[in-house]
């Protein structure tokens, strides 16, 4: 007997019905989709309008970003296999942003040569994950070097700025020495979009030499540069950025929703007792269900960090420098020195007791000095 759970025909009917919006209740049916349902979908795939496909993939991407329990990888790979339209393919690649399937690498490399610049950009961005996996020794070194070589070529030669920027951002994960130079070169350009991409790459680099540049741009007027500086501060777990980020949260009307979300998440990556108190207060005060869910996720991330304080996100890169015999020069770089003064005033939270928070930051400061 066909049940709602087993009957996929309703989902297909919703996709092909161009007179009505696709029912949102069916979106989760694409998570861990079965081979049988993919076979059914394949029969009607070319009847579905391009706009509906793009909308569907975008909705699934949003769900995947918010819900770690869903997985749309099988559907994403299905689209890559069946589809020809570059916009649909670009959306499918973005949906696969966390997929570690090494079989995707040749496909992504091939599409970095596509005539459509948006598809080239999506494929170039997708290769960043595999650079990261290479740094963790999860893919063969030769394969990583092939990807890096292609990304360097794109950075220097692609005719479109957005594609070259994606190459820079993907290379941010690479520990190759020349990456430091191209990040600096990109940040030194006058165009704000290049500075933003450079900051994005800095955040991926696990390299604390970028600390000062990141801190200097947290209060940048340009919103894209500001956002990437805040994001990078969280990714590098820069404790010295914590007072500035907390102050931003205390001025909610000066932040749009995206900057506010990035700030909250970066603080959850940096950690500290003050951070937990502030996030719990914001969670209690918000009347936005979506923001409440996001803050709960941030608090969960903060809890993970607190449970495993020994996990140093810079350890892999520091070991790399040590292996190459450059650790002394690296660690003596002036830009790495820490002068986190903690919270000299208590403007960010007038209701809390000062002593416990200040002592917490002193401990953090001492720990960070010992690390470097």
Distance from C-alpha of 236 to C-alpha of 215, rounded to nearest angstrom: 11
**pLDDT for the residue 13:** 95
Going by the DSSP 8-state scheme, the letter that residue 188 receives in this structure is: T
Determine contact, residues 365/340, Cβ cutoff 8 Å.
Answer: yes
- What the block records as the tokens of 190 is 């006058």
Question: What is the per-residue DSSP string for 73-86?
Answer: HHHHHHHHHH---H
Q: What is the pLDDT of residues 194-222, one digit of tens each?
A: 999 999 999 999 999 999 999 999 999 99
Res 312: pLDDT? 54
Q: Output the pLDDT for position 335.
A: 36
Q: What is the set of domains in the chain, with CATH numbers?
A: 1-99 (no CATH), 100-175 (no CATH), 206-305 (1.25.10.10)
Closest C-alpha among 263, 276, 256 to residue 218: 263
Whether 233 contacts 218, CB under 8 Å: yes
Distance CA 169, CA 173 (A): 8
Low-confidence ranges of the chain (pLDDT < 50): 1-5, 315-316, 318-319, 321-372
The size of the chain, in residues, is 372
What is the C-alpha to C-alpha distance for residues 174 and 167, in angstroms, rounded to an integer? 11
Q: Which helix (H) or strand (E) holds 105?
A: helix 104-111
Q: What is the pTM of this model?
A: 0.82
Q: How far is CA 275 from CA 41, 51, 132, 174, in A?
A: 47, 42, 28, 30
Tokens describing residue 326 = 């450059």
Q: What is the pLDDT of residue 204?
A: 98
Residues in Cβ contact with 101 at an 8 Å cutoff, skipping those fewer than 6 apart: 73, 77
């Amino acid at each position: 007997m066909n049940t709602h759970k087993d009957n996929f025909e309703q989902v297909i009917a919703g996709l092909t019905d161009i007179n009505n919006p696709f029912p949102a209740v069916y979106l989760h049916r694409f998570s861990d989709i079965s081979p049988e349902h993919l076979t059914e979908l394949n029969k009607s795939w070319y009847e579905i309008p391009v706009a509906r496909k793009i909308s569907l993939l975008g909705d699934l991407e949003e769900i995947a970003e918010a819900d770690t329990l869903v997985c749309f990888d099988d559907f994403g790979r299905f689209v890559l296999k069946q589809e020809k339209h570059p916009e649909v393919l670009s959306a499918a690649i973005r949906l696969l942003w966390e997929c570690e399937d090494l079989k995707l690498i040749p496909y992504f490399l091939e599409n970095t040569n596509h005539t459509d610049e948006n598809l080239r950009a999506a494929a170039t961005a997708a290769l960043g994950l595999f650079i990261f996996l290479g740094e963790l020794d999860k893919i063969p070194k030769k394969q990583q070097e092939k990807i890096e070589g292609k990304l360097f070529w794109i950075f220097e030669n692609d005719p479109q700025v957005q594609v070259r920027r994606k190459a820079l951002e993907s290379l941010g994960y690479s520990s190759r020495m020349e990456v430091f130079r191209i990040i600096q070169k990109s940040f030194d350009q006058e165009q704000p979009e290049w500075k933003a991409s450079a900051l994005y790459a800095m955040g991926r680099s696990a390299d604390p030499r970028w600390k000062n540049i990141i801190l200097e741009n947290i209060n940048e007027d340009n919103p894209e540069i500001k956002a990437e500086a805040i994001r990078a501060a969280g990714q590098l777990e820069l404790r010295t950025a914590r007072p500035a980020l907390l102050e931003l949260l205390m001025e909610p009307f000066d932040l749009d929703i995206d900057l506010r979300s990035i700030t909250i998440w970066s603080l959850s990556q940096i950690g500290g007792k003050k951070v937990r108190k502030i996030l719990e207060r914001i969670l209690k005060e918000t009347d936005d269900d979506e923001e409440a869910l996001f803050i709960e996720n941030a608090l969960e991330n903060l809890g993970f960090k607190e449970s495993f304080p020994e996990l140093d996100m810079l350890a892999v890169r520091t070991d790399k420098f040590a292996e190459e015999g450059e650790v002394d020069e690296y660690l003596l770089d002036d830009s790495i020195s820490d002068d986190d003064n903690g919270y000299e005033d208590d403007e960010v939270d007038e209701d809390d007791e000062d002593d416990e928070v200040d002592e917490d930051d002193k401990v953090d400061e001492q720990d960070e000095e010992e690390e470097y």
